[in-house]
Amino acid sequence: MTPLPRNYDWLAAKFNNVIQNHQELGKALREAGPLNNKDANLIQLAAAAATKAEGAVHSHVKRAMDSGATPEEIYHAILLLTSTIGFPAMAAALSWARDIIED
Is 3 a residue whose pLDDT tops 60?
no
Is 5 a residue whose pLDDT tops 70?
no
What pTM does this model have? 0.85
Helix axes 87-101, 71-79, angle to 10 degrees: 170
Q: Where are the domains of the chain?
A: 6-101
Q: What are 66-86's pLDDT values in tens digits?
A: 999 999 999 999 999 999 999
Domain 6-101 has CATH 1.20.1290.10: yes
Q: Output the average pLDDT for the chain.
A: 93
Q: What are 41-61's pLDDT values in tens digits?
A: 999 999 999 999 999 999 999
